[in-house]
Amino acid sequence: MGDQTEVLMPPRVEVGVLGWLKKNLFSPWYNALLTVVSVGFVVFVGRVILLWVFRSARWEVVTTNLKVFMIGRYPAAEAWRVLVSLGVVVLLAGLTWAFRKAKDSPIRRWLVLAWIVSFPVIGILLRGFGEDNPFLPKVSAEVWSGLLLTLVLAIVGIVASFPLGVLLALGRRSRLPVVKVLCTIYIEAIRGVPLISVLFMSQLMLPLFLPPQIRLATVMRALTGITLFSAAYTAENIRGGLAAVPIGQYEAAQAVGLNKALMMILVILPQALRNVIPAIVGQFISLFKDTTLVVIVGLLELLGIAKAVTGQRQFIGLHQEVYFFVAVLFFICCYLMSHGSRRLEKALGVGER
Amino acid sequence: MGTSGSETSKVPFWRDIRVLRVLAQIVFLMVVVAGILWAISNYRQRGLIFSYSFLDEEASFDMAEGIEFSPTDSYARAFLVGVINTIRVAAIGIVLATLLGLITGISRLSRNWLVSKIATVYIEIIRNTPLLVQLFFLYFAVIMKLPKLSEAVVMPGPAYLSNRGIVVPWPRLAEAFNLWWPFLVAAVAAAVALIVIRRRSQERIGRPSIRGFWVFACLILIPLAGWLIVPGDPLRLDIPELVRKSGGVLKVEGGVSFSSEFTALLVGLVIYTGAYIAEVVRAGIQSVVKGQTEAARAQGFTSGQITRLIVLPQALRVIIPPLISQYLNLTKNSSLAIAIGFLDLYAVSQTMLNQSGRVVEVFFMIMGSYLAISLTISLIMNIVNKRMQIVER
Amino acid sequence: MPSESSEAAQEIIECRDVHKWFGSFHVLRGVNLTIRKGEVVVICGPSGSGKSTFIRTINRLEEHQKGTIVVDGIELTHDLRNIHAVQREIGMVFQQFNLFPHLKVIDNVTLAPIWVRRWSKDRALKTAEELLKRVGIPEQAQKYPGQLSGGQQQRLAIARALAMQPKIMLFDEPTSALDPEMIKEVLDVMVELARSGITMIVVTHEMGFAKQVADRIYFFDDGNIVEHNTPEEFFRNPREERTKKFLSQILTH
């Protein structure tokens, strides 16, 4: 044959942009119809939304109230404390991410310590001392609101619910019938009722069962409810992780002489928890969204503050703009967290082992 | 079962593993009971009592939503109305959300890029925004912004959309119904008979001897024939119309109306849960190994048959457990009704509690109701689930 | 191979009339067994005969319901102290290795000595390094078990068990889960161990190993010992029918 073979190119319509269009949008006839309908739909909805966003919406309600959305009724003069707290968190997060590969370095132990210490430190920083203290005047937790309160509720909630969740998970898997039954009752009862009823219980009912002298701040009551609620779901996640640890690990730990407690702490739990980190992160994202429910018991986190803003005299009734803004804020936060969680899952899967 | 040792010394009980197990449980139980008793003593110390007698008292508040109720009715009846409202919204919500979720989930897997992307965008937006924000937006920013009744949006029907809700035409029983219902019964009986015949023949010869089409035909043709035969109309469409009452008040009469609160809650719940169900459906369909569809196609099955006989049964097996979860979530989420003023069981309980002051009693009623509803849904779905399970080796 | 040395070798394990039920299934039917210090004992038998269950009752991974088990003078009862004491004195190597995947190789070995025997970290590390050298994987110390081959993993498991300086080593089909080319390296370690004088009970099908170092072979079937003998006698003159049948099945290659 000749040394000049003719290379046949595929038909123009099959490749490149045209090809992609044809394959994905138009190939069977009903697809073409769907595409046309969908395009019409997108154009219609898009027009309505864009027109509203850029023409008729009055965004001043958001821009003038930005600070209110972020920190609510926290006194503006003390806002620097919020910024500092945020800075600390960002710094610690950055350091943790930077050192994520260094498995042996002593830095990791310091980081864990730093995280643990940061909680009370930030708490004190935000709350301050007595009224007349020159540096950190008291800003009672009752006044914390807006996104600040959302973050406080979500973060403290997930952190506090974790140890309780571990205990509940271990209890539910216990071979002692009494422990197992009681833990199961708690978990199933909590999971069978809405969060709002648990919040209601902690808000209104809990104070009635405490000694008359003790009065809990509203935020503390809400936090209790959130923690009790989240612990049940965390327990189920951890239970799944525990079930995934092969029974041979229990046997090997016993055979080498570890007692029950040491076995759990040194061998079983580290493996179980590693399995469920993605689920725990998912739980945090849910919790983050669920903090909006405290509106119903009277706390003003981000959504609550937003609702209050629509009552401002010059901005009465601008619900669309305000709730759209809140929705966008939540969307950005949650989407980023989900994305981070997926990357975390990948990293863990590929990690050592 | 003890070891029968020949000269074993008595095992001291504080080291005996069996004793320790029992002891641990007793201690645990005692701690829990002690905690409960302490809590109750605090309660009593505040001078509070526990009694359900308040349920017979007059509610002295009115409810615009739900079945017949007047302020002189008891709290018990008020609670019942609330429960019925919750069940109403949950039942309709579950059905609609399943439909929406099915369509969206399948769309997400469509080969049409645009359709798939639209579904994805919808799902991502809904899943990353709190339900309450969506409800607030729907209620305050959409429904409440609808025009007044006098300038209501008129949709074909006619149906009236206003800030008071939606009113749509609704069929009501008319005179000829007494003569017509036997046709309905006959239609159902015939359909059931056909289904049984189909199933029997499927077992005997491997495929149903009567096409499924005839089952539907029965359900439609027989009642239709009855309608033509019977004099008069068995059903009449109740058409809503705007009526100006004395005093200039405008009202809608006829049809069936859904309050704006109900509508907002229902639409919000359906859109929200639909997105989650879509993901469940998608995961279920994707779990059916691709090789199956390829093998089926190679054997000559049509697309429809592949979906019906091979993909769907296996996908359903994977879909149903998380679907149960979503139904339960929808039911629990319906409690957010209180945030937009819909009188579901939680909202009614709150009012009852504010007025009567009986916090603990009402709390148990709330928990009991939700647990009962959750259990019922779980039980029903578990039966469905069991029937779907593939028998494995 | 320790035989009759200066004094009569003492008994280190004594099992009398040991019974166990799994529900209604009678898995151990009155097992009687005596093992002397330093003995190397091989237990073989068809699957389902209860041999694995039996050695697991010795270190209390399974609980026997009737009969007595005395290990190094300590009777295994419901006494927690006894149970823990026995478990400290016995090391076990599993068919599925059961290494701790989240710990490095070296940490797998030092975990128990540090937390159970309360050794200092330095002492534990030193012992661990020696043991890793003894089983032939000193260079793997900083890796994770998942990065090792099957044979290396099982040798690590042996080192981990030895770290507690046990008086008795139990082996539950240690080479059954290994690819053929790795069986030899593990058996070599076990042979060296046997020659060092430690008491060993090995459940295995590896008859070559048995012939090399075992003092006695026990044939287990149907929940009890059918016959036992020295390896030479066992293979040359099996007494029972069942033994003959079993031997014919496994010795065909």
A150-175, pLDDT tens digit by residue? 988 998 999 899 999 999 999 998 88
How large a percentage of chain A has pLDDT more than 70? 90
Chain segment C127-151, per-residue pLDDT in tens: 999 999 999 999 999 999 999 999 9
Strand partners, B253: B241
Chain segment C43-90, per-residue pLDDT in tens: 998 888 889 999 999 989 999 999 999 998 888 888 888 888 898 889
Q: Is B335 within 8 Å of A289 when comparing Cβ atoms?
A: no
Please report, as a single letter, which amino acid is at residue C83: I
Q: How many helices (DSSP H) and strands (DSSP E) are in chain C?
A: 9, 10
* DSSP strands (E only) in C157-231: 168-172, 199-203, 216-221, 224-229
Alpha helices, H only, A173-317: 177-192, 195-200, 218-243, 247-255, 260-262, 269-290, 302-309
Q: Would you say B318 and B283 are in contact if contact means Cβ atoms under 8 Å apart? A: yes
Q: Is C66 within 8 Å of B1 when comparing Cβ atoms?
A: yes
> With a cut of 0.95, is the ipTM above it?
no
Q: If you measure CA to CA, which chain B residue comes closest to C70? A: B5
Integer Cα distance of B66 and B81 in angstroms: 6
Whether A259 and chain C come into contact, CB under 8 Å, resolves to: yes
Least confident interval from A20-29, A163-172, B248-257, C188-197:
A20-29
Provide, for chain C, the percentages of residues in helix, strand and coil under a 3-state DSSP scheme, each rounded to the nearest 5: 40, 25, 35
- Stated as kind and residue range, the H or E segment containing B182 is helix B177-205
**pLDDT of the residue at C96:** 93
Site of tokens 């005179």: B175
Chain segment A250-294, per-residue pLDDT in tens: 999 999 989 889 999 999 999 988 888 888 888 999 999 999 999
**pLDDT of the residue at B7:** 42
- Stated as kind and residue range, the H or E segment containing B168 is strand B165-168
Q: What is the DSSP string of C53-92?
A: HHHHHHTTSS--SEEEEEETTEE-SSBHHHHHHHHHHEEE
Q: If we measure between CA atoms, which residue out of A334, A23, A287, A10 comes closest to residue A157?
A: A287
Q: If we measure between CA atoms, which residue out of B271, B273, B278, B277 comes closest to residue B109?
A: B278
**pLDDT of the residue at B9:** 55
Task: Kindly give the parts of chain B with pLDDT less than 50.
Answer: 1-7, 392-393
Mean pLDDT throughout A42-51?
Answer: 88
Q: Is B141 within 8 Å of A196 when comparing Cβ atoms?
A: no
Q: If we measure between CA atoms, which residue out of C128, C184, C131, C186 comes closest to residue C155?
A: C186
Determine if the peptide bond prior to A11 is cis (ω within 30°).
Answer: no
Question: Higher model confidence: residue A229 or residue C4?
Answer: A229
Q: Is C111 within 8 Å of A274 when comparing Cβ atoms?
A: no
Q: Is C115 within 8 Å of A258 when comparing Cβ atoms?
A: yes
Integer Cα distance of A187 and B340 in angstroms: 29
Contacts of A44 (CB under 8 A, 6+ apart): none
Window A:313-352, CB contacts with C under 8 Å: 352
Interface of B with C (CB under 8 A): 1-6, 8, 11-12, 15-20
Q: If you measure CA to CA, which chain B residue comes closest to A192? A: B371
Chain segment A179-189, per-residue pLDDT in tens: 999 999 999 89
Window C:140-159, CB contacts with A under 8 Å: 144, 146
Chain segment A76-121, per-residue pLDDT in tens: 777 788 888 888 888 888 887 777 666 666 777 788 888 888 888 8
Computed on alpha carbons and rounded to an integer, the radius of gyration of chain B in Å comes to 29
Q: Tell me the nearest-neighbour CA distance from C44 into chain A, angstroms.
A: 22
**pLDDT of the residue at A4:** 61
Q: Would you say B12 and C76 are in contact if contact means Cβ atoms under 8 Å apart? A: no
